[in-house]
A and B are shown apart, each in its own frame.
Chain A
Amino acid sequence: MAEEKKIVLEAKGITKQFPGVLANDHVDFDLREGEVHALLGENGAGKSTLMNILYGLYKSDSGEIKVNGEVMHLSSPKDAIHHGIGMVHQHFMLIPVFSVTENIMLGAETDHRAIQSDAALTRLDRKEVAKKVSQLSDQYGFKIDPEAIIGDLPVGVQQRVEIVKALYRKASILILDEPTAVLTPQEADDLFRIVRELKQRGVSIIFITHKLKEVLAVADRITVMRGGKVVGSAEPATTTEQQLATMMVGREVLLTVDKDEAKPTNEVLQVENLHVRDQRGLETVRGISFHVRAGEVLGIAGVQGNGQTELAEALTGLRAVESGKISLGEKDLTGKSPRAYTETGMAHIPEDRQKHGLILSYTIADNLILCDYYKLPFSKNYVLQQGAVDENARRLIQEYDVRTPSPYVSAGKLSGGNQQKVIVARELSRQVKLIIANQPTRGLDVGSIEYIHKEIIQMRDQGVAVLLISAELDEIMALSDRIAVMYRGEIVTTVEGGKVSREQLGLWMAGAHPEKI
C-alpha cells in the first residue's frame, strides 16, 4: 500500500451510557484522509450513538475526539460543522414544507456572503443561495431544483439534497448513516459512485450500515461493532460475508432460511384493481391486482414510498378504498372495518409496531387481547374477565418466548424484538387464514429476525397464506415463494421466488419494465 494517509478523525475510548444500556463501551475509531471507512453492526450495536457523538449531538461520558490531530470538544453540531464534519442521517433531517434552498441555508443563512452576519433579523437571500446550490449540485451531476419543496421530492433526490447540504458547509468528513435503507439497488449503486467521486475530491467518508454486500462493495476498511464494543476490523479484499456476519452477531449465522418446497392450495386473498389514496389525497395504489394462496408466501418487493404502506392499510381495513375489490376467503371485505378483517381470519403484523400494533402503556396481557377483548372468554356481557386474560397471557408468553418478568409489565418497557413477539403472539395465535406482515423485522436484532422468519415459514407450512411486504430485498428473496415487485403504486411483474436474481429485481424496483431485461 502507498504511504499511510494521515488521520483526519480519531476517537479514543468513547463511552456512552444511557439508562439501562451501555451504548458505547470504550470505542476506538479512526478515519484516514480520502478513505471510505465502513462501520458495520446489527441494529442496536451502537453505531448511530458513536456517530451522533462525533457529530456533536450527544456528549460522550468519557474519551476524546481529535480532528486533524487537535483535540476537540464537540458540544453541538455547530462545532462539528465548524470542523468540517457533515452528517447525513438515516431519517433525513430535512423540513418537508421548506424548499431545497431553505433547507440548505438553515443554520448557515449568511455563509454565502462575503461578510457574515449574526443578526437575527438579517434578510434571507434566497436567490443568491439558490445559485450557489445549483453550482454545487452541478459539480456532482445531481439534478436538483433549488426551488422544489422537499416534501414533493422522491427519497433518492432528498438524500442528494442532504449531501449537498453537507458540502455547502464545506464538509471534508462525511458521515453517512444507513444511506441505502431507502434506495433501490440501482440507486444504491448510484450512491456508491457518488461516494467514490467524493473520495476523489478529498472527502473522507464514514459509511454506517448493517448490510454485508454493501460493505464489501464500497469500503476501503471495515470496523465491526457489537453490543457497544468494537469487535474486529477487516479489509474487503481479505474477508467474506460469512466472516463479517459472525463478527457482527457473535456466533455462526445462517444467511439463508431453511425451508421446504411450498405446497400452495386454493386462493385466500384476492385483490382486484385496487386504488387507494394517501393522507394528502394522492393516489398511491394505482390499480393493483394479485392473489395469495394458502400455504405460500407472496413477497411484495419495493422501496418504501411506492404505495406499500397504503396497500397494507387498505388490506387491513385501516384505510378507505377508492375503488377495486378485496376478498378474503370468498368474502368481499372491500372498505369494511378492521374488525371485519380480523374476524374473517386476517392477522396483521404492522409496519409501525408502536403506532398500530401496541398500546405501549397497556400491560402485555392487555395488548395480547387487543383484538379479541370483546369476545368470550375475555369478556362476558361487556364485563372483562380478568382470569381469562391472565391465563391467555401466561400461555402466549411461554409459547412465543417473550422475555419479560411478568405479564403485567407495560409493553413500552420491552425491547423491539420482544414487542414484535407480543404482536406475533397475538396475531398468530388466532384462527388465521392470512397473515399480512409489513416490514416485520425492521429495527430488530438478528436473533429476533431469525425467530420471526421461522414463524412465517411455519405458518406457511401449516396452510396459512402469507403476504410479506418488505424493503429488505434479502428478506423477500429468502422467504418468498412468489415475488411481486411494486413500483409507483403498481405491480410491475410477478415471478417465482428462487428463479430471479437480485439485479433483475432491483431493476424492476427502480421502474424498469420486465420486457426490457
Chain B
Amino acid sequence: MDWRRFSFIALIIAVLFGTVVLIGMSTESPILIIGSMMATTIAVATPLTLGALSGVFCERSGVVNIGIEGMMLSAAFFGWLASIYMSSIFKFSLAPSLIVGLISAILAGGLFALLHAVLSITYKVDQIIGGTVINILAVGVTGFLNRQLFFDKNSIFGGQVPHAPGVLPVIHLPVKEVLEGLCGLFGSSPECIVTADAIGKVFDQKPIAIAAIVLVALSHYVLFNTRWGLRTRAVGEHPKAADTVGINVVWMRYANVVIGGMLAGLGGAYFTLESVPSFEPLMTNGRGFISLAAMIFGNWTPFGAWAASLVFGASQALQINLQFFRTSIPPEWAFFQNSYAVGQIPYILTMIILTGIIGKTTAPAADGTPYEK
C-alpha cells in the first residue's frame, strides 16, 4: 500500500474519530470514546470486509462481481429463516439454531454465486449485467418469501414473525483484565484503568467480526503464498497463459466465485445473526456496493480491502456513536445532529475514493473478460 493511500486512510480515520471525541468530550472521557469508536468500527466494518474479500477472490480470478449486495441480502434472509425454523418449528435452542443459520447463510451466498458463475463463465453473459440479475433476483426472492411466509395467515408461521432466537454473543477476551493487572504493577492510576477499559472494549467482538479479521490474514496467505493463489491470479491476469501451462481456467474461476459467494454469505449472516435478530427487506442498504469500493481502493488485496473497510466502518460508527451524544451536542456541531447528513458520509466517501484522486489502482488485467479458447 503506497504512502498516499495510507495517509489518506489515516487522515480520514483521524478526522472521524476526532469529531466524535470533540463532540462527546463534555460527557465522557476521550479515551473511552476512542475505544468505543474503535470497537464499533471493527464490528460495523465486518460485512464490508467480508464483502470486499468476496470481491477480491472473484475478481482476482477474472470475474467481476457486483452481485455481492444480492448475495449478502439473500444470505441474511436465508440464514435468519433457517435459524427461525430451527427454533420455532423444531424447537432447537439458541446455539444450534444460530449455527444452522450461519451455515445456511454461507450456503445461500455460495448458491447465488454459483448462479453468477454459470451466467458469467459458461454463458459469457456480460458480468455487470449478470451481477445485476443476481441483485434483482435476491431482492425479488427475499421480498416474496418474506411476505409469503410471515404475512400470509396460511403459512407455517401463521402470519406472524415468530420470536427470533437472538444473535451471536460477544466473545469476551480477557484483555481488559490483563491490562488492569498490568496497571496494578505500576500503581493503578485511574487513567491507566480507563485506558485498559477502552482497549478491552476494542477486543470484545462477536464471532463473525473476529472471523472476518482472521479471514483477511488467511486470504492474504492463500493469495500470495500458495499454489491456489498463484493460479487464481494467473487466471485473472492472463487466462490464455494459464491455459497453456495446463491450468483449468473455467474450474479456477468457478471455484473462486463460489468461495467469494460464501464469504459474502458470511457477511450477510452478520446482518441477521450478529447485528439484529430480524430481517428487513433491502436491509443490506448498499453495503455490498461499498465493499466493492473498498476492494478497488485496497487494490484488490485482502489487507488493503480491510483497511478501506475500516474507513467506511468508521464513518458508520460515527453515526452510531453520535446517537449517544444526541442530547449534548454543542450548537456549533448541529450539523451532526442531522442523521441524514451524517448518513451521507459513507456514500460520498466512496465516490471520492473512486475518482482515484487518492491514487490509481489496477484491476487484474483479465478482470471482466470472459475466457474464449
Complex contact A124–B230 (CB within 8 A): yes
For the complex, is B206 an interface residue (Cβ under 8 Å from A)? no
Q: Mark A91-135, 1 if CB is under 8 A from B, else 0.
A: 011111110001101111110000000011111100000000000
Given contacts A94-B238, A95-B237, A96-B237, contact A120 B227 (CB under 8 A): yes
For the complex, is A13 an interface residue (Cβ under 8 Å from B)? no
For the complex, is A81 an interface residue (Cβ under 8 Å from B)? yes
Complex contact B228–A77 (CB within 8 A): no
Complex contact A81–B245 (CB within 8 A): yes
For the complex, is B177 an interface residue (Cβ under 8 Å from A)? no
| Closest beta carbon of chain B to A357's beta carbon, Å | 21
| Closest beta carbon of chain B to A430's beta carbon, Å | 35
CB-CB nearest in chain A for B231 = A106
Complex contact B373–A57 (CB within 8 A): yes
What CA separation (Å) do A312 and B258 show in the bound complex? 45
Complex contact B241–A93 (CB within 8 A): yes
Partner of A121 from the list B228, B237, B373 (CB cut-off 8 Å) is B228
Residues of B within 8 A of A102 (CB): 230
For the complex, is A459 an interface residue (Cβ under 8 Å from B)? no
For the complex, is A89 an interface residue (Cβ under 8 Å from B)? yes
What CA separation (Å) do A28 and B18 show in the bound complex? 77
What CA separation (Å) do A94 and B222 show in the bound complex? 22
CB-CB nearest in chain A for B227 = A109
Given contacts A57-B373, A98-B234, A124-B230, contact A107 B242 (CB under 8 A): yes
Residues of A within 8 A of B244 (CB): 55, 57, 77, 87, 89, 93
Restricting to B236-253, which residues have a CB under 8 Å from any CB of A?
237-238, 240-248
For the complex, is B344 an interface residue (Cβ under 8 Å from A)? no
Complex contact B226–A95 (CB within 8 A): no
Residue count of chain B within 8 Å CB distance of chain A: 23
Complex contact B225–A123 (CB within 8 A): yes
For the complex, is B137 an interface residue (Cβ under 8 Å from A)? no
Given contacts A89-B244, A121-B222, contact A96 B238 (CB under 8 A): yes
CB-CB nearest in chain B for A76 = B246
Residues of A within 8 A of B31 (CB): none
| Closest beta carbon of chain A to B118's beta carbon, Å | 22
Given contacts A96-B365, A97-B365, A124-B225, contact A105 B241 (CB under 8 A): no
What CA separation (Å) do A93 and B234 show in the bound complex? 11
Partner of A106 from the list B226, B228, B234, B248 (CB cut-off 8 Å) is B234
Residues of B within 8 A of A106 (CB): 230-231, 234, 241-242, 245, 247
Residues of A within 8 A of B246 (CB): 76-78, 81, 107
Complex contact A108–B238 (CB within 8 A): no
CB-CB nearest in chain B for A109 = B227
Taking each of A55, A57, A98, A107, which has the highest tally of chain B beta carbons within 10 Å of its own beta carbon?
A107
| Closest beta carbon of chain A to B29's beta carbon, Å | 46
Q: Mark A61-96, 1 if CB is under 8 A from B, else 0.
A: 000000000000000111001000001010011111
Residues of A within 8 A of B231 (CB): 106-107
What CA separation (Å) do A377 and B214 show in the bound complex? 67
Residues of A within 8 A of B373 (CB): 57-58
Residues of A within 8 A of B225 (CB): 123-124
Complex contact A120–B226 (CB within 8 A): yes
Complex contact B227–A121 (CB within 8 A): yes
What CA separation (Å) do A165 and B242 show in the bound complex? 13
Residues of A within 8 A of B233 (CB): 95, 98
What CA separation (Å) do A106 and B233 show in the bound complex? 10
CB-CB nearest in chain B for A105 = B230
Complex contact A107–B247 (CB within 8 A): yes
Residues of B within 8 A of A165 (CB): 245
Residues of A within 8 A of B229 (CB): 124
Residues of B within 8 A of A57 (CB): 243-244, 373
Complex contact A77–B227 (CB within 8 A): no
| Closest beta carbon of chain B to A112's beta carbon, Å | 13
| Closest beta carbon of chain A to B245's beta carbon, Å | 3
Complex contact B230–A93 (CB within 8 A): no
Complex contact B243–A77 (CB within 8 A): yes
| Closest beta carbon of chain B to A53's beta carbon, Å | 12
| Closest beta carbon of chain A to B43's beta carbon, Å | 30
| Closest beta carbon of chain B to A91's beta carbon, Å | 8
Given contacts A96-B365, A106-B247, A107-B247, contact A119 B227 (CB under 8 A): yes
| Closest beta carbon of chain B to A113's beta carbon, Å | 12
Residues of A within 8 A of B242 (CB): 106-107
| Closest beta carbon of chain B to A245's beta carbon, Å | 31
Complex contact A93–B245 (CB within 8 A): yes
What CA separation (Å) do A121 and B234 show in the bound complex? 15
Residues of A within 8 A of B241 (CB): 92-95, 103, 106
| Closest beta carbon of chain B to A418's beta carbon, Å | 23
What CA separation (Å) do A98 and B245 show in the bound complex? 15
What CA separation (Å) do A95 and B62 show in the bound complex? 14
Restricting to A219-244, which residues have a CB under 8 Å from any CB of B?
none
| Closest beta carbon of chain B to A494's beta carbon, Å | 37
Interface residues of A (CB under 8 A from B): 55, 57-58, 76-78, 81, 87, 89, 92-98, 102-103, 105-110, 119-124, 165
Report 24 cross-chain contacts, Cβ distance below 8 Å, ordered by A residue: A55-B244, A57-B244, A58-B373, A76-B246, A77-B244, A77-B245, A81-B245, A87-B244, A92-B241, A95-B234, A96-B237, A96-B365, A97-B365, A98-B233, A102-B230, A103-B241, A106-B234, A106-B241, A106-B242, A110-B227, A119-B227, A121-B222, A123-B227, A124-B229
Which 3 pairs across A and B sit closest by C-beta, in order of nearness?
Answer: A107-B245, A78-B246, A93-B241
| Known A81-B246, A98-B237, A121-B228; further 8 A-B contacts with Cβ < 8 A | A76-B246, A93-B245, A95-B241, A97-B237, A105-B230, A107-B231, A123-B226, A124-B225
